[in-house]
Structure 1
Amino acid sequence: MTTVIDGSGTLRAHCLLCPNPGPMTLSGTNTWVLREPGADRVVVVDPGPQDERHLERVARSVQEQGARVVLTLLTHGHPDHSEGARYFSELTGAPVHAVDPRLGIAGEGQDATLTDGQEFEVDGLHLRILETPGHTPDSVCVQVGADDVLLTGDTVLGQGTTVITEDGLGAYLDSLRRLRDLVAASGIRALLPGHGPICPDPAQRLTEYLTHREQRLEQVSAAVAAGAQELRGVVARVYGDLDPALVPAAESSVRAQLRYLAARGEVPAELARS
């Protein structure tokens, strides 16, 4: 279990790691349990995949603290974050809120659809939703006000870089810039990702992410200029030797970059459709 501690030594964010490690999930999915110190109501972010033992462990850990889950939030709809949400709702009785209405499970008289800027107050725990599309169209981050931390889902990972949707690079760059501006303006002191360790230097991490994307765009442009005429050829020039398990993710990212560059007239449109 990973714990985030505020300046007074009290605890607000606890991470329970789901045992689903892999090339795309790193050490596993981080399920975040948010609780104002001394409160008996908690919020869970990303219960994880349909792993009943993990979901029951999360529910049990809350009960053992003398608390109960009153709200579950999904940072996006990928199964490793959301597939277990329905079972978790059955375990806890808590509604599930998500951008995608198909994933929401509303309580009585509630709308379970997350929107940009939406705020939640749970026994003094203040949360704010930030839409950050790019990894998926429905990606959000969750700001925990009192601790000045940001739960980033898969928008920013604890290590490495994330995959983006094939039409999502422009939106993703805007999301990164939005988070960078928020960190500068609000003093966000840590990023709590959906996979991997906590990022203790948000400004540096977001700068690294933006720089990485800019460098990748330059590499893709150079690969096309050097004669690569199809997606696989660009991937081979940009990534070189690559773990076969990561090839689909690399192809998805390169396709997104080609579409972004094609929209700007910098590579042939037909290449972006390859």
Structure 2
Amino acid sequence: MNNFRIRTCTVGMVGTNCYLVYREDLKKAVIVDPGDNGAHILNKCREYGIIPEAIVLTHGHFDHILAVEEIRRAFKEITVYAAEKEAKLLGDPRLNMTGSYGTGFSLSPDCLVKDGDVLELAGFKWKVLETPGHTAGSVCLWIEEEDVLISGDTLFAESLGRTDFPTGNAAEIIHSIKERLFILPDETMVYPGHGEPTTIGHEKTHNPVAFYNR
């Protein structure tokens, strides 16, 4: 029996996908991008009988981080991971836009990661893929053994993340998708920061980035 579980909590004003990832037999979990509605996320953890050991952030925008501190308070032993190239954005309310959407705050991760790092969390190996473009420090998380990619706001179903926010870059996001993500196996399931899941194979034939040749 496959013990891999990924549950989606859609939270916040722009419908951000927060993911709860765990093994059914271990009940230790990773929370990816707790963007808002911390009480709802915590209730789902209780409902599934899981104990989060880590929060992993794909990037530092307000709609992916607003519930981090509430979850930190609930689980004192939890570790927050983010890309080292995203540290500046996380620490600046203007760049992370928390100042524009409520009370501005800065966030300090417990552990900074970089491209190629492998995190052993909740019984799985998570490979960090740097995918700049939506922000300078955006990353995707590849769980190769489960054919799963959590793509944050880099790759969406038949779309891609916007690049007009602080540290965004259109050329970089196109390069990240074509050179970092489209090389993954076609059967890889993609769980994006917004919207419905997709696969790498589907995006290679239906995403507008696939037809961008410059």
Q: Deviations over 1:212-242 (max 9, x none)?
A: 545xx7xxxxxxxxxxxxxxxxxxxxxxxxx
Identity value in percent = 26
| Residue ranges of structure 2 left out of the alignment (5+ in a row) | 92-106
**How much does 1:72 deviate?**
0.1
Change (3 A) 1:12 1:164: same
**How much does 1:170 deviate?**
2.6
Amino acid at match of 2:8: C
| Cα distance between partner residues in 2 of 1:38 and 1:46 | 23
The residue that corresponds to 1:170 in the other structure is 171
| Residue ranges of structure 1 left out of the alignment (5+ in a row) | 1-7, 107-111, 218-274
Change (3 A) 1:204 1:123: closer
SS in 2 for 1:134: coil
Q: Deviations over 1:91-111 (max 9, x none)?
A: 2221211122333332xxxxx
Q: Where do residues 201-216 of structure 1 align in structure 2 (5 Å cutoff)?
A: 201-207=199-205, 208-211=207-210, 213-214=212-213
* Residue of structure 1 aligned with 2:31, choices 44, 47, 65: 44
Amino acid at match of 1:205: E
Q: Where do residues 115-130 of structure 1 align in structure 2 (5 Å cutoff)?
A: 115-130=114-129
Amino acid at match of 1:96: V
Q: Does the CA-based 8 Å contact 2:134-2:168 persist in structure 1?
A: no
| Cα distance between partner residues in 2 of 1:118 and 1:35 | 20
| Cα distance between partner residues in 1 of 2:122 and 2:139 | 23
**For the aligned residues, what is the CA RMSD?**
2.2
Amino acid at match of 1:18: V
* Residue of structure 1 aligned with 2:11, choices 18, 26, 46: 18
Give the TM-score taking structure 2 as reference length: 0.78
The aligned length equals: 189
| Cα distance between partner residues in 1 of 2:212 and 2:11 | 29
Change (3 A) 1:159 1:125: same
| Cα distance between partner residues in 2 of 1:39 and 1:55 | 23
Q: Does the CA-based 8 Å contact 1:128-1:144 persist in structure 2?
A: yes
The residue that corresponds to 1:104 in the other structure is 108
| Cα distance between partner residues in 2 of 1:86 and 1:146 | 31
Give the TM-score taking structure 1 as reference length: 0.62
